[in-house]
Amino acid sequence: MRYAVLSDVHANLEALEAVLQDAQQQAVAGFLCLGDFVGYGPDPDACVERLRCLLSVGLVGNHDLAALGRLDARRFNLFARAAVEWTQAQLSGPVRAYLERLQPRETFEGFLLVHASPRDPVEEYILDWETAEDNFRAAEFQVCLFGHTHVPVHFAHDGVRTHVFPLFPGAPRRLKPNFRHLVNVGSVGQPRDGDPRAAYVIVDTQAATVELRRVEYPIEAVQAKMQARGLPRPLWERLSEGR
Residues that bind Zn ion (CB under 5 A): 8, 36
C-beta closer to Zn ion: residue 68 or 156: 68
Q: Which of 49, 123 has the CB closer to Zn ion?
A: 123
- Is the Cβ–Cβ distance between 7 and 35 less than 8 Å? yes
Q: How far is the CB of 36 from Zn ion (least distance, A)?
A: 4
The residue (of 14 and 36) whose beta carbon lies closer to Zn ion is 36
Least distance from Zn ion to the Cβ atom of residue 175, Å: 24
To Zn ion, the closest distance from the beta carbon of 130 in angstroms equals 21
Sequence-distant (6+) residues with CB within 8 A of 41 are 9, 10, 11, 12, 13, 47, 83, 189, 190, 222, 226, 231
Shortest spacing between CB 192 and Zn ion, in angstroms? 9
Q: Closer to Zn ion at the Cβ: 23 or 235?
A: 235
The nearest distance, CB 81 to Zn ion, in angstroms, is 14
Q: Whose Cβ is closer to Zn ion: residue 4's or residue 11's?
A: 11
